[in-house]
């Protein structure tokens, strides 16, 4: 589990790692000496992790919808319920492990399919990636805790998830979709779409200075089950493929290179960023009213089943999809949908956001499922997802998501106004994890650790939470410390 404060483990903890991916916690560099080894404790509540976090009312949590959720507290919920195409390989920022994809494009896919599943543009003299293809693991399943139904994950779900997030990415800094959009969408486009009153004057103005979030660019940035990119083995043994067209400032539609092609070297890293890269079920979201224009949803009861692409097809190569792209993916058709991101006001300060029916409910494919909708006054309860399967592309490898049944089946997370309750539960031997606010309660931390009532851990992190760089930068002090005058205003 992620912690919103320093991660600590009570001695009643069974010792299981409940996160769906490697977790980073920030900690003081001056940690107390560990206590002498104690006898292995017995949990007072076997099979359940009791977690206390300092997050009054869920912190800044306004929703757990991954296309909107953009803070560490709600990201913690999503990490254990949803999956991405790939995940970070431990603390490495340059290597990855499969999640929903059967392999990571590059050497991993080469050994599995005889192709790296990366294509390159050579027009600039220096080969740069043009497309990345991801076969979808047929073992992956969505699970609806309200109905106990489960069904497979398909490329149409991936396309739906990314289209949904990128449509709102023009609200830079408010929603997470901009992280993926920067590599998939151009930064220039049809300026009339941003200014024409027919489509709502000013609505898309903010997008025009960042990425072109017009629907035709969003929908043409992804290819599904395209035989030019998806190996035949993935069409038979996997659930097909999704292909991403990257570096589109220099590309025409569908990866046609032009003289201005530019490299975007960090595309795989963007797929591991929490939020917009989490894959949600198209059918279930559509049944909840959380629709994306053109996507038909599913005919399965309660939305518990796979859906097709716009045009009611399984491939973007079909005439039906191409017709939709030419006539249906227009600014006017997507206008009402796109403006949901700024209604009732950025970032939806009115409370519910674009899709209230998925504000506190989730259906995912990860190790856990929500036992009930999130309650911001209390917290949330996770239960093991009975339909979850370990990703087949990394079975037996370090940092792969855990095998089903190898982790605690129940997790209770309490969002507290202060760390007092968590401290009391640690001292009583009831809490498995709790947050302690530092530096205010260093003495409490030292006392609990020295008495053997608490263990602690510190791990490398690719970011340092809540320790932001000072914006009031003292140039003179830096030059004095460095022994030079190389830094100027």
- Residue 14 has a pLDDT of 32
The structure tokens listed for 252 are 């025409």
pLDDT of residue 480: 60
Q: If we measure between CA atoms, which residue out of 220, 144, 211 comes closest to residue 181?
A: 211
439 preceded by a cis bond (ω within 30 of 0): yes
Give residue for tokens 């709790």.
434
Question: Three-state DSSP class for 415?
Answer: strand
Q: According to the model, what pLDDT value does residue 481 have?
A: 52
Are 118 and 129 within 8 A, CB to CB?
yes
pTM: 0.82
pLDDT at 154: 98
Distance, C-alpha 482 to centroid of its chain: 39
Question: How many Cβ atoms are within 10 Å of 437's Cβ, its own excluded?
Answer: 18
- Phi/psi at 383 (5° precision): -130, 150
Structural domains of the chain in order of their starting residue, each with its CATH number: 6-80+367-456 (3.40.190), 83-357 (no CATH)
Cross-strand pairs, 224: 242
Distance between CA atoms of residues 178 and 222, nearest Å: 16
Give me Rg for the CA atoms of the chain. 24
Q: Are 277 and 91 in contact (CB under 8 A)?
A: no
Q: What is the pLDDT along the chain (489 residues), one digit of tens a residue?
A: 333 333 344 444 333 333 334 333 333 334 445 445 555 667 888 899 999 998 887 766 678 899 888 878 888 899 999 999 999 998 888 899 999 999 999 999 999 999 999 998 766 556 778 899 999 999 999 999 999 999 999 999 999 999 999 888 776 667 888 888 888 887 654 444 444 444 444 444 434 445 677 888 899 999 999 999 999 999 999 999 999 998 766 443 333 334 445 566 789 999 998 888 999 999 999 999 999 999 999 999 999 999 999 999 999 999 999 999 988 888 777 877 777 766 654 444 434 456 788 989 999 999 999 999 999 889 999 999 999 999 999 999 999 999 999 999 999 999 999 999 998 998 888 998 888 887 778 888 888 888 877 777 665 555 545 444 444 445 566 556 545 444 444
Q: Write down the pLDDT at residue 258.
A: 42
């Amino acid at each position: 589990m992620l912690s919103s404060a320093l991660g600590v483990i009570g001695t009643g903890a069974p010792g299981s790692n409940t996160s769906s991916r490697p977790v980073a916690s920030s900690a003081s560099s001056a940690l107390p000496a560990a206590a002498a080894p104690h006898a292995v404790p017995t949990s007072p509540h076997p099979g359940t992790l009791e977690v206390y976090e300092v997050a009054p009312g869920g912190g800044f949590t306004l929703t757990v919808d991954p296309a909107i959720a953009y803070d560490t507290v709600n990201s913690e919920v999503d990490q254990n319920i949803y999956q991405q195409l790939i995940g970070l390989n431990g603390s490495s920022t340059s290597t990855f492990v499969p999640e929903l994809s059967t392999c990571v494009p590059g050497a991993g896919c080469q050994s599995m399919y005889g192709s790296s599943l990366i294509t390159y543009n050579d027009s600039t003299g220096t080969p740069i990636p043009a497309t990345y293809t991801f076969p979808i693991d047929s073992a992956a399943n969505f699970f609806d805790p309200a109905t106990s139904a489960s069904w497979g994950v398909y490329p149409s779900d991936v396309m739906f998830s990314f289209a949904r997030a990128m449509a709102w990415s023009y609200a830079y800094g408010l929603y997470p979709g901009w992280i993926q959009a920067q590599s998939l969408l151009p930064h220039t486009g049809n300026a009339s779409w941003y200014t024409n009153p027919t489509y709502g004057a000013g609505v898309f103005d903010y997008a025009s200075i960042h990425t072109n979030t017009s629907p035709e660019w969003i929908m043409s940035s992804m290819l599904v089950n395209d035989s030019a990119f998806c190996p035949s083995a993935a069409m038979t043994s996997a659930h097909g493929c999704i292909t991403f067209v990257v570096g589109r400032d220099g590309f025409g539609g569908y990866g046609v290179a032009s003289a201005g092609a530019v490299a975007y070297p960090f595309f795989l890293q963007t797929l591991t960023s929490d939020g917009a890269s989490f894959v949600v079920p198209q059918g279930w979201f559509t049944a909840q009213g959380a629709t994306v224009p053109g996507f038909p949803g599913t005919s399965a009861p309660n939305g518990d089943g796979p859906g097709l692409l716009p045009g009611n097809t399984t491939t973007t190569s079909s005439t039906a999809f191409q017709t939709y792209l030419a006539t249906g993916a227009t600014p006017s058709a997507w206008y009402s949908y796109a403006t949901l991101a700024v209604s009732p006001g950025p970032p939806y300060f009115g409370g519910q956001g674009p899709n209230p029916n998925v504000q506190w409910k989730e259906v995912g494919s990860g190790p856990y499922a929500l036992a009930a909708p999130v309650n911001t006054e209390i917290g949330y309860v996770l239960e093991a997802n009975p339909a979850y399967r370990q990703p087949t592309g990394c079975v037996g490898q370090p940092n792969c998501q855990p095998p089903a049944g190898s982790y605690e089946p129940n997790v209770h997370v309490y969002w507290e106004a202060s760390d007092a309750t968590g401290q009391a539960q640690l001292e009583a031997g009831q809490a498995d994890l709790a947050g302690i606010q530092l530096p205010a309660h260093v003495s409490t931390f030292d006392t609990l650790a020295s008495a053997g009532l608490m263990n602690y851990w510190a791990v490398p992190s690719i970011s340092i939470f809540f320790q932001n760089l000072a914006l009031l930068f003292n140039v003179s002090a830096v030059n004095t410390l460095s022994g030079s005058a190389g830094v100027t205003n």
